[in-house]
Structure 1
Amino acid sequence: MEDCKTDNNLKERFWRGLNSEQLKSATRILYESSDSFEKLKRKTRLEEEENNPVNASEKTLVNQQPTDSRLKVLDEMLERLKTIEAKMSNMKKRNLEGKREYESYEATKSSDQERRQNRHTNGGRYYR
Protein backbone atom coordinates (compact mmCIF):
# COMPACT_ATOMS: atom_id res chain seq x y z
CA MET A 1 0.00 0.00 0.00
CA GLU A 2 2.81 2.41 0.95
CA ASP A 3 4.74 1.58 -2.25
CA CYS A 4 1.65 2.24 -4.36
CA LYS A 5 1.14 5.62 -2.70
CA THR A 6 4.80 6.58 -3.20
CA ASP A 7 4.67 5.47 -6.83
CA ASN A 8 1.53 7.54 -7.42
CA ASN A 9 3.16 10.59 -5.81
CA LEU A 10 6.22 10.17 -8.02
CA LYS A 11 4.03 9.85 -11.12
CA GLU A 12 2.07 12.96 -10.21
CA ARG A 13 5.13 15.12 -9.51
CA PHE A 14 6.90 13.93 -12.66
CA TRP A 15 3.92 14.42 -14.93
CA ARG A 16 3.00 17.84 -13.53
CA GLY A 17 6.61 18.96 -13.90
CA LEU A 18 6.59 18.37 -17.64
CA ASN A 19 6.78 21.67 -19.53
CA SER A 20 5.66 20.35 -22.89
CA GLU A 21 1.93 20.04 -23.41
CA GLN A 22 2.68 17.70 -26.29
CA LEU A 23 4.50 15.33 -23.92
CA LYS A 24 1.71 15.58 -21.38
CA SER A 25 -0.95 14.68 -23.92
CA ALA A 26 1.15 11.78 -25.23
CA THR A 27 1.68 10.35 -21.75
CA ARG A 28 -1.69 11.14 -20.16
CA ILE A 29 -2.94 7.56 -20.59
CA LEU A 30 0.03 6.12 -18.71
CA TYR A 31 -0.27 8.80 -16.05
CA GLU A 32 -3.93 8.01 -15.43
CA SER A 33 -3.43 4.23 -15.60
CA SER A 34 -2.21 2.02 -12.78
CA ASP A 35 1.17 1.53 -14.46
CA SER A 36 4.31 2.28 -12.45
CA PHE A 37 6.28 5.49 -12.34
CA GLU A 38 9.15 3.76 -14.17
CA LYS A 39 6.90 2.92 -17.14
CA LEU A 40 5.64 6.50 -17.27
CA LYS A 41 9.18 7.84 -17.15
CA ARG A 42 10.42 5.50 -19.91
CA LYS A 43 7.46 6.28 -22.17
CA THR A 44 7.92 10.01 -21.62
CA ARG A 45 11.61 9.80 -22.49
CA LEU A 46 10.81 7.87 -25.67
CA GLU A 47 8.19 10.45 -26.68
CA GLU A 48 10.66 13.22 -25.92
CA GLU A 49 13.30 11.65 -28.18
CA GLU A 50 10.80 11.22 -31.01
CA ASN A 51 9.65 14.84 -30.81
CA ASN A 52 13.07 16.35 -30.17
CA PRO A 53 14.65 18.16 -33.16
CA VAL A 54 17.89 16.31 -32.47
CA ASN A 55 18.53 13.39 -34.78
CA ALA A 56 19.42 10.53 -32.43
CA SER A 57 21.93 8.93 -34.81
CA GLU A 58 23.83 12.06 -35.88
CA LYS A 59 23.38 14.20 -32.72
CA THR A 60 23.13 17.40 -34.74
CA LEU A 61 20.50 20.06 -34.34
CA VAL A 62 18.22 20.98 -37.20
CA ASN A 63 18.53 24.61 -38.36
CA GLN A 64 21.60 25.22 -36.24
CA GLN A 65 23.12 27.71 -38.71
CA PRO A 66 22.93 31.24 -37.31
CA THR A 67 21.27 33.74 -39.60
CA ASP A 68 22.86 36.92 -40.86
CA SER A 69 20.54 39.03 -38.73
CA ARG A 70 21.62 37.20 -35.56
CA LEU A 71 25.26 37.73 -36.43
CA LYS A 72 24.59 41.39 -37.12
CA VAL A 73 22.87 41.82 -33.74
CA LEU A 74 25.73 40.05 -31.97
CA ASP A 75 28.28 42.27 -33.72
CA GLU A 76 26.35 45.39 -32.69
CA MET A 77 26.21 44.19 -29.10
CA LEU A 78 29.93 43.50 -29.13
CA GLU A 79 30.66 47.00 -30.40
CA ARG A 80 28.44 48.51 -27.70
CA LEU A 81 30.26 46.52 -25.04
CA LYS A 82 33.61 47.71 -26.34
CA THR A 83 32.38 51.32 -26.25
CA ILE A 84 31.11 50.91 -22.69
CA GLU A 85 34.42 49.35 -21.59
CA ALA A 86 36.36 52.25 -23.13
CA LYS A 87 34.12 54.79 -21.35
CA MET A 88 34.55 52.96 -18.05
CA SER A 89 38.31 52.91 -18.48
CA ASN A 90 38.34 56.67 -19.12
CA MET A 91 36.15 57.27 -16.08
CA LYS A 92 38.50 55.22 -13.91
CA LYS A 93 41.49 57.22 -15.14
CA ARG A 94 39.69 60.52 -14.44
CA ASN A 95 38.66 59.26 -11.02
CA LEU A 96 42.26 58.38 -10.14
CA GLU A 97 43.48 61.76 -11.39
CA GLY A 98 40.79 63.49 -9.36
CA LYS A 99 41.80 61.57 -6.23
CA ARG A 100 45.43 62.54 -6.72
CA GLU A 101 44.50 66.20 -7.22
CA TYR A 102 42.30 66.12 -4.12
CA GLU A 103 45.05 64.50 -2.04
CA SER A 104 47.60 67.10 -3.15
CA TYR A 105 45.07 69.86 -2.45
CA GLU A 106 44.43 68.45 1.04
CA ALA A 107 48.18 68.24 1.71
CA THR A 108 48.66 71.87 0.60
CA LYS A 109 45.66 72.97 2.63
CA SER A 110 46.90 71.30 5.82
CA SER A 111 50.41 72.80 5.44
CA ASP A 112 48.86 76.27 4.96
CA GLN A 113 46.81 75.81 8.12
CA GLU A 114 49.91 74.80 10.07
CA ARG A 115 51.75 77.93 8.89
CA ARG A 116 48.82 80.11 9.93
CA GLN A 117 48.68 78.48 13.34
CA ASN A 118 52.42 78.90 13.86
CA ARG A 119 52.20 82.56 12.89
CA HIS A 120 49.50 83.22 15.45
CA THR A 121 50.84 81.17 18.36
CA ASN A 122 52.35 84.21 20.00
CA GLY A 123 49.03 85.98 19.76
CA GLY A 124 50.60 88.75 17.74
CA ARG A 125 52.80 89.98 20.64
CA TYR A 126 56.41 90.60 20.01
CA TYR A 127 58.84 90.82 22.89
CA ARG A 128 61.89 92.98 22.73
Structure 2
Amino acid sequence: MKPEATVEEIMSELDDNFGNVASIDTMLSKFLMAEQEQNETISEWGLRIEELLLHVTRKTRLDEHEKKDMLRKRFWRGLRNEELKNATRVHFESKLTYEELKIKLREEEFEIQISKDRGKQKCSRVHQSALDAKDEGDELLKQLIRKIEDLEKKVDDFKNERNLESGDHRNRDTSRHRGGSRGHGRGNHYVPYNRSKNEASNRQMTERSTGTSENNNHLNV
Protein backbone atom coordinates (compact mmCIF):
# COMPACT_ATOMS: atom_id res chain seq x y z
CA MET A 1 0.00 0.00 0.00
CA LYS A 2 1.28 3.43 -0.91
CA PRO A 3 2.26 5.74 1.97
CA GLU A 4 -0.04 8.46 0.65
CA ALA A 5 -3.15 6.15 0.61
CA THR A 6 -6.41 7.70 1.73
CA VAL A 7 -8.58 6.48 4.63
CA GLU A 8 -11.03 4.88 2.23
CA GLU A 9 -8.23 2.98 0.53
CA ILE A 10 -6.84 1.78 3.87
CA MET A 11 -10.27 0.62 5.06
CA SER A 12 -10.89 -1.15 1.79
CA GLU A 13 -7.56 -2.92 2.02
CA LEU A 14 -8.26 -4.04 5.59
CA ASP A 15 -11.72 -5.21 4.64
CA ASP A 16 -10.36 -7.19 1.73
CA ASN A 17 -7.83 -8.94 3.95
CA PHE A 18 -9.62 -9.26 7.29
CA GLY A 19 -13.25 -8.28 6.65
CA ASN A 20 -16.40 -10.31 6.32
CA VAL A 21 -16.22 -12.46 3.22
CA ALA A 22 -19.98 -13.10 3.11
CA SER A 23 -21.83 -11.88 0.04
CA ILE A 24 -23.78 -8.63 0.04
CA ASP A 25 -27.05 -10.56 -0.13
CA THR A 26 -26.10 -12.62 2.92
CA MET A 27 -25.12 -9.59 5.00
CA LEU A 28 -28.20 -7.62 3.94
CA SER A 29 -30.45 -10.57 4.78
CA LYS A 30 -28.78 -10.88 8.18
CA PHE A 31 -29.41 -7.18 8.85
CA LEU A 32 -33.05 -7.27 7.76
CA MET A 33 -33.81 -10.38 9.86
CA ALA A 34 -32.03 -9.18 12.99
CA GLU A 35 -34.08 -9.00 16.22
CA GLN A 36 -33.35 -7.82 19.72
CA GLU A 37 -32.16 -10.62 22.01
CA GLN A 38 -33.78 -11.44 25.33
CA ASN A 39 -31.36 -9.71 27.70
CA GLU A 40 -30.17 -7.08 25.24
CA THR A 41 -30.74 -3.43 26.18
CA ILE A 42 -31.87 -0.76 23.72
CA SER A 43 -28.35 0.65 23.51
CA GLU A 44 -26.81 -2.78 22.89
CA TRP A 45 -29.44 -3.59 20.28
CA GLY A 46 -28.79 -0.32 18.46
CA LEU A 47 -25.02 -0.87 18.39
CA ARG A 48 -25.44 -4.38 17.02
CA ILE A 49 -27.61 -3.42 14.04
CA GLU A 50 -25.34 -0.44 13.32
CA GLU A 51 -22.46 -2.89 13.00
CA LEU A 52 -24.52 -5.19 10.77
CA LEU A 53 -25.42 -2.28 8.48
CA LEU A 54 -21.79 -1.18 8.39
CA HIS A 55 -20.85 -4.53 6.84
CA VAL A 56 -23.55 -3.98 4.22
CA THR A 57 -22.37 -0.49 3.31
CA ARG A 58 -18.83 -1.76 2.80
CA LYS A 59 -20.12 -3.99 0.03
CA THR A 60 -22.53 -1.52 -1.55
CA ARG A 61 -22.90 2.22 -1.61
CA LEU A 62 -25.81 3.76 0.36
CA ASP A 63 -26.38 7.45 0.91
CA GLU A 64 -26.62 8.72 4.48
CA HIS A 65 -30.37 9.29 4.39
CA GLU A 66 -31.08 5.77 3.10
CA LYS A 67 -28.76 4.24 5.69
CA LYS A 68 -30.45 6.14 8.59
CA ASP A 69 -33.89 5.14 7.36
CA MET A 70 -32.89 1.47 7.21
CA LEU A 71 -31.51 1.70 10.75
CA ARG A 72 -34.65 3.39 12.08
CA LYS A 73 -37.02 0.80 10.61
CA ARG A 74 -34.99 -2.26 11.60
CA PHE A 75 -34.31 -0.82 15.05
CA TRP A 76 -38.01 -0.42 15.92
CA ARG A 77 -39.38 -3.46 14.07
CA GLY A 78 -36.82 -5.76 15.65
CA LEU A 79 -37.80 -4.85 19.21
CA ARG A 80 -38.46 -7.91 21.36
CA ASN A 81 -40.58 -6.19 24.02
CA GLU A 82 -44.12 -5.70 22.66
CA GLU A 83 -45.00 -3.36 25.52
CA LEU A 84 -42.10 -1.11 24.61
CA LYS A 85 -42.94 -1.39 20.94
CA ASN A 86 -46.56 -0.33 21.44
CA ALA A 87 -45.56 2.52 23.75
CA THR A 88 -43.25 4.01 21.10
CA ARG A 89 -45.33 3.33 18.00
CA VAL A 90 -46.44 6.94 17.79
CA HIS A 91 -42.81 8.10 17.79
CA PHE A 92 -41.89 5.65 15.04
CA GLU A 93 -44.82 6.72 12.87
CA SER A 94 -44.04 10.41 13.41
CA LYS A 95 -40.89 9.95 11.30
CA LEU A 96 -38.39 10.72 14.05
CA THR A 97 -34.76 10.19 13.08
CA TYR A 98 -32.95 7.06 14.17
CA GLU A 99 -31.09 8.96 16.91
CA GLU A 100 -34.29 10.62 18.21
CA LEU A 101 -36.18 7.33 18.16
CA LYS A 102 -33.41 5.61 20.08
CA ILE A 103 -33.57 8.28 22.81
CA LYS A 104 -37.36 7.86 23.11
CA LEU A 105 -36.99 4.11 23.33
CA ARG A 106 -34.38 4.36 26.07
CA GLU A 107 -36.62 6.71 28.07
CA GLU A 108 -39.59 4.37 27.72
CA GLU A 109 -37.44 1.37 28.59
CA PHE A 110 -36.40 3.14 31.78
CA GLU A 111 -40.01 3.95 32.74
CA ILE A 112 -41.14 0.37 32.12
CA GLN A 113 -38.31 -0.96 34.27
CA ILE A 114 -39.22 1.46 37.08
CA SER A 115 -42.84 0.31 36.89
CA LYS A 116 -41.79 -3.34 37.05
CA ASP A 117 -39.55 -2.69 40.05
CA ARG A 118 -42.41 -0.96 41.85
CA GLY A 119 -44.68 -3.87 41.05
CA LYS A 120 -42.12 -6.30 42.46
CA GLN A 121 -41.77 -4.20 45.61
CA LYS A 122 -45.55 -4.08 45.99
CA CYS A 123 -45.82 -7.83 45.54
CA SER A 124 -43.01 -8.27 48.03
CA ARG A 125 -44.81 -6.05 50.55
CA VAL A 126 -48.08 -7.90 50.00
CA HIS A 127 -46.30 -11.22 50.41
CA GLN A 128 -44.57 -9.98 53.57
CA SER A 129 -47.88 -8.66 54.91
CA ALA A 130 -49.45 -12.04 54.25
CA LEU A 131 -46.59 -13.75 56.09
CA ASP A 132 -46.90 -11.30 59.00
CA ALA A 133 -50.66 -11.89 59.14
CA LYS A 134 -50.07 -15.65 59.12
CA ASP A 135 -47.51 -15.36 61.91
CA GLU A 136 -49.89 -13.19 63.92
CA GLY A 137 -52.71 -15.67 63.34
CA ASP A 138 -50.47 -18.55 64.42
CA GLU A 139 -49.51 -16.67 67.59
CA LEU A 140 -53.16 -15.93 68.42
CA LEU A 141 -54.00 -19.59 67.86
CA LYS A 142 -51.19 -20.64 70.20
CA GLN A 143 -52.44 -18.21 72.85
CA LEU A 144 -55.98 -19.56 72.49
CA ILE A 145 -54.74 -23.15 72.83
CA ARG A 146 -52.78 -22.20 75.97
CA LYS A 147 -55.88 -20.55 77.47
CA ILE A 148 -57.99 -23.62 76.70
CA GLU A 149 -55.37 -25.87 78.30
CA ASP A 150 -55.26 -23.63 81.40
CA LEU A 151 -59.05 -23.70 81.62
CA GLU A 152 -59.11 -27.49 81.31
CA LYS A 153 -56.49 -27.75 84.05
CA LYS A 154 -58.55 -25.50 86.34
CA VAL A 155 -61.66 -27.62 85.68
CA ASP A 156 -59.71 -30.81 86.47
CA ASP A 157 -58.32 -29.27 89.67
CA PHE A 158 -61.81 -28.18 90.70
CA LYS A 159 -63.19 -31.68 90.06
CA ASN A 160 -60.36 -33.26 92.06
CA GLU A 161 -60.98 -30.85 94.93
CA ARG A 162 -64.70 -31.68 94.94
CA ASN A 163 -63.91 -35.38 94.91
CA LEU A 164 -61.59 -34.97 97.89
CA GLU A 165 -64.25 -33.02 99.82
CA SER A 166 -66.87 -35.70 99.05
CA GLY A 167 -64.47 -38.37 100.27
CA ASP A 168 -63.88 -36.51 103.55
CA HIS A 169 -67.65 -36.21 104.15
CA ARG A 170 -68.13 -39.94 103.53
CA ASN A 171 -65.29 -40.78 105.91
CA ARG A 172 -66.76 -38.60 108.67
CA ASP A 173 -70.23 -40.12 108.21
CA THR A 174 -68.75 -43.61 108.37
CA SER A 175 -66.85 -42.74 111.56
CA ARG A 176 -70.00 -41.40 113.24
CA HIS A 177 -71.94 -44.51 112.25
CA ARG A 178 -69.27 -46.78 113.69
CA GLY A 179 -69.19 -44.75 116.91
CA GLY A 180 -72.95 -45.11 117.33
CA SER A 181 -72.72 -48.86 116.86
CA ARG A 182 -70.05 -49.15 119.55
CA GLY A 183 -72.20 -47.18 122.02
CA HIS A 184 -75.17 -49.43 121.37
CA GLY A 185 -72.97 -52.43 121.98
CA ARG A 186 -71.92 -51.10 125.40
CA GLY A 187 -75.58 -50.60 126.35
CA ASN A 188 -76.28 -54.25 125.60
CA HIS A 189 -73.34 -55.19 127.78
CA TYR A 190 -74.95 -53.61 130.88
CA VAL A 191 -78.37 -55.12 130.34
CA PRO A 192 -77.40 -58.55 131.82
CA TYR A 193 -75.95 -56.83 134.87
CA ASN A 194 -79.13 -54.90 135.58
CA ARG A 195 -81.21 -57.99 134.99
CA SER A 196 -79.10 -59.95 137.48
CA LYS A 197 -79.45 -57.19 140.06
CA ASN A 198 -83.22 -57.18 139.69
CA GLU A 199 -83.35 -60.94 139.91
CA ALA A 200 -81.30 -60.83 143.13
CA SER A 201 -83.66 -58.27 144.65
CA ASN A 202 -86.62 -60.40 143.72
CA ARG A 203 -85.02 -63.43 145.33
CA GLN A 204 -84.38 -61.51 148.52
CA MET A 205 -87.98 -60.32 148.66
CA THR A 206 -89.20 -63.87 148.02
CA GLU A 207 -86.98 -65.19 150.77
CA ARG A 208 -88.22 -62.57 153.18
CA SER A 209 -91.81 -63.40 152.33
CA THR A 210 -91.14 -67.08 152.82
CA GLY A 211 -89.45 -66.42 156.15
CA THR A 212 -92.30 -64.32 157.39
CA SER A 213 -94.81 -66.97 156.44
CA GLU A 214 -92.85 -69.64 158.27
CA ASN A 215 -92.62 -67.48 161.40
CA ASN A 216 -96.34 -66.86 161.35
CA ASN A 217 -97.02 -70.57 161.02
CA HIS A 218 -94.75 -71.29 163.93
CA LEU A 219 -96.51 -68.81 166.15
CA ASN A 220 -99.83 -70.25 165.25
CA VAL A 221 -98.71 -73.64 166.30
TM-score (norm 1): 0.48
* Higher helix residue share: 2
